[in-house]
Structure 1
Amino acid sequence: MKRSDTPADEVCTTQRAAELLGISVSSVQQLVESGVIEAWKTQGGHRRIPLSAVLRYKAAPAADSGARPARQNGEATVLVVEDSPLQRAVYERQFAMWDLPVSLTFCENGYQALMEIARRRPQVMLADIIMDGIDGYEVVKTILADPQLAGMHIAIVSSLTAEDLAERGGVPPGVVFFGKPVNYDELRGYLRACCAQLQRAAQYDA
């Protein structure tokens, strides 16, 4: 997108945005590529970010590793397994904007995820693959091997290439894959479909 008419004092470089937010340049680039922070490129290929977008992001509440309290009965329980604090913060902000009927819980590694699954049996899980210790693939395989967890909606999120995934056995049947940087419109659609299906199932069971 071209914004040559924007005053120079209202925009900043990626480096300046990183300084204002107290994060790395690569983290700012990830936020821009994910669509969380608005940006555009000049004719020379240099990225420019509106200062207002940086300040909005800085003022927004950050994610934590705990569960968001349920707003009402009938919410879908969603577990997000992600070891990057930045990515967890991005998820938190996206979920807040979507206002889906979900109760959200974060885990930062596979071990925590397995403990959380044993305690609460979430209905939907989004899991990163590459993590230290027990990675996302191991968590997914554990769930698929347990008949009592057969109804869980599972999506894996990763920057791995198709070749890397194939070497690890590919995406298991019934599991949805989202590449990084995440297309949040597609993720929102997936979660809306999960919520609708769970609500229909609850009505049939009532």
Structure 2
Amino acid sequence: MLKSNFSFYTSREAANKLGVSITTIQLWVESGALPAWKTAGGHRRIPSEAVETILAKQQSTAVQGRGAHAHSVVIVEDEPVQREMYRIKFSEWDLPVNFYLAQDGFEGLLMIGKHVPDLVISDLSMPGMDGFEMIKRLIESKEIRVPALIVVTALNAREIEASGGLPEGIPVYSKPLSLGVLKPIVEKTIQHNRH
């Protein structure tokens, strides 16, 4: 029996609080990224503590480029040094994008749901939800469509296959990736997705 002093949000309230759509909330709940329970009538109830935790993560891990831009990139990488390299390079390039850094697949899903990026750059080997699981959930999602996704990993082709493989058509780059190679990929994606 739940104690009455616990507070819960409906899907709509959680969506408003986090600045995302109700379908994004549903995706997060179904993927396990957001804990919830269902009432006898089938309505979701989301612990307010879980919503506050996600809100704090969004505020502490989002790194924006200069100003507001029409395009965005989500980078999912667990190694702090690699994340810092991405942050420095994206700032230096002065591209018209907002970029967001996530530490694992769980945070990646949260940011992708919130910012609906033009491009996702993801590692595969990460603690918690790894890149394989995050990509699988993105591909299966009917609500969120990511126009472009690339993988940057230290795993070789055999190791990727042994871990379940990746959907066809996802470009895979080996670590360490020259970030000079990455810049034209980002520029091309932006050009392709211009409104």
Code of the residue aligned with 1:71 in structure 2: it is G
1:164 to 2:162 alignment: no
Q: Percent identity?
A: 26
Q: In the alignment, what sits opposite 1:141?
A: 136
Computed over aligned residues only, the root mean square deviation of the Cα atoms, in angstroms, reads: 1.8
What is the deviation of 1:92?
A: 0.9
- Equivalence for 1:66: 62
Separation in 1, partners of 2:98, 2:106: 21
Task: Spell out, residue by residue over 1:86-132, the C-alpha distance to the aligned partner (whole angstroms, 9 max, x if none).
Answer: 11111111112222111011111111111222222222111111011
- Give the Cα–Cα distance (whole angstroms) in 1 for the partners of residues 104 and 97 of structure 2: 21
1:69 and 1:101 map into 2 onto residues whose CA distance is 8
TM-score normalised to structure 1 length: 0.61
Structure 2 unaligned segments of length 5 or more: list them.
1-59
Aligned with residue 121 of structure 2, among 123, 126, 142: 126
SS in 2 for 1:187: helix
Number of paired residues? 136
- Distance, in Å, in 2 between the alignment partners of 1:140 and 1:171 is 8
Instruction: State the Cα distance separating 1:84 from its structure 2 match.
Output: 1.1
Q: Is the 8 A contact 2:65 2:91 kept in 1?
A: no
- Structure-2 change in CA distance of 1:96 and 1:69 (3 Å): closer
2:179 counterpart letter in structure 1 = Y
- Confirm whether residue 185 of structure 1 aligns to residue 188 of structure 2: no
For structure 1, the residue ranges without an aligned partner over 5 or more in a row are 1-63
CA distance change for structure 1 residues 69 and 93 in 2, over 3 Å: closer, same or farther?
closer
Structure of larger gyration radius: 1
Describe the SS at the equivalent of 1:131. coil
Q: How far apart, in 2, do the equivalents of 1:96 and 1:144 lie?
A: 29
